[in-house]
């Protein structure tokens, strides 16, 4: 499959996913319709599928306009069904979604919101993780508990190490600086901070990341238990 980042708002990535064999195209979390429709049209792709990870408006705000323009079918978390505009197919843990011959498995990853799900295309080694895991970071706990998020991150970290993780925001520089402050003696984190600083200074995206890189440098995966995780998350909430 071919995956294209469509930047939106100040730091969102909306993901267009094209399956060449079938011509089917998915958009993951269309917070805004116009840039997504323009990016698809520029490539001659027809959007057939909308995949929502959670209800936040910067992930779902373009659902109805994309659906009206293309007739796309909307998939999203069953636990947030009443807050996903235009939802056709509510999904829960271990459900499956097809894009042509490609199949994604749904992984329930509550924490940022209570119904948050991720889409794992095992055949392509790709996962769309929304606002659950970020490069060197994780989403804020708006609805869920530290226990839920700790478990959700561990589930994503347990995917095969070469799995590419497509998160929904460019937060890596702030995350890397926080990680370097929380683990000042860690060489892997220090090295990745340098790489991220160079990439951002040159205007390059730092997403996708992959499971191996997150296992090595994501500070939230260093937490040995829920208490440690909760302390780290709280410290990041106040980090500037």
Q: Which residues are catalytic?
A: 54, 56, 58-59, 112, 131, 169
Between 56 and 67, CB nearer to Zn ion: 56
Residue 171 Cβ vs Zn ion, minimum distance, rounded to whole Å? 11
Task: Residue 131: count other Cβ atoms within 10 Å of its Cβ.
Answer: 25
Asked if 16 contacts 25 with a C-beta cutoff of 8 angstroms, the reply is yes
| Separation between Cα atoms, residue 235 and residue 109, nearest integer Å | 22
d(CA 78, CA 93): 9
Find all residues with CB under 8 Å of 202, minimum gap 6, and list them. Answer: none
| Nearest distance, CB of residue 59 and Zn ion, angstroms | 6
Q: Does 236 bind Zn ion (CB under 5 A)?
A: no
- Residue 150 touching Zn ion (CB under 5 A): no
Residue nearest to Zn ion (CB): 56
| Nearest-approach distance from CB 8 to Zn ion, in angstroms | 13
Site string for Zn ion, 53-82 (x = CB under 5 A): ---x--------------------------
User: Binding segment for Zn ion among 19-27, 127-135, 158-166, 199-207 (CB under 5 A)?
Assistant: 127-135
Near Zn ion by CB under 5 A: residue from 19, 24, 131, 170: 131
Q: Which stretch binds Zn ion (CB under 5 A): 2-10, 51-59, 72-80, 103-111?
A: 51-59
Distance between first and last Cα of the chain: 38
Burial class (CB in 10 A: 0-12, 13-18, 19+), 46: middle
- Reported as half-sphere exposure (CB side, CA atoms, 13 A), residue 231 has a value of 8
Q: Say how many C-beta atoms besides its own lie within 10 A of residue 78's C-beta.
A: 17
Please state, as a whole number, how many other Cβ atoms lie within 10 Å of the Cβ of residue 74.
Answer: 21
* Residue number with CB closer to Zn ion (80 or 131): 131
Q: Does 19 bind Zn ion (CB under 5 A)?
A: no
In the complex with Zn ion, the residue whose CB is nearer, 48 or 113, is 113
Q: Using CB under 5 A, list all residues that contact Zn ion.
A: 56, 131
């Amino acid at each position: 499959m071919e995956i294209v980042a469509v930047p939106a708002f100040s730091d969102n990535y909306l993901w267009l996913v094209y399956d060449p064999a079938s011509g089917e195209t998915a958009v993951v979390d269309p917070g805004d319709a116009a840039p997504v429709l323009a990016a698809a049209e520029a490539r001659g792709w027809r959007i057939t599928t909308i995949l929502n990870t959670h209800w936040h408006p910067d992930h779902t705000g373009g659902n109805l306009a994309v659906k009206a323009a293309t007739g796309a079918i909307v998939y999203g978390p069953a636990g947030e069904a009443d807050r996903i505009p235009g939802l056709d197919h509510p999904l829960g843990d271990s459900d499956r979604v097809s894009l042509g011959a490609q199949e994604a498995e749904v992984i329930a990853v509550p924490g940022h919101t209570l119904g948050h799900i991720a889409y794992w295309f095992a055949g392509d080694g790709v996962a769309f993780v929304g606002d659950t895991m970020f490069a060197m970071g994780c989403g804020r706990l708006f609805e869920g508990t530290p226990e839920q998020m700790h478990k959700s991150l561990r589930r994503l970290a347990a995917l095969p190490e070469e799995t590419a993780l497509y998160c929904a925001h460019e937060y890596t520089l702030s995350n890397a600086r926080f990680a370097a402050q929380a683990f000042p003696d860690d060489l892997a984190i220090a090295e990745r901070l340098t790489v991220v600083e160079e990439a951002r200074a040159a205007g390059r995206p730092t997403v996708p990341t992959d499971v191996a890189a997150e296992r090595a440098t994501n500070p939230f995966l260093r937490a040995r238990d829920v208490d440690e995780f909760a302390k780290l998350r709280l410290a990041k909430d106040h980090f500037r």
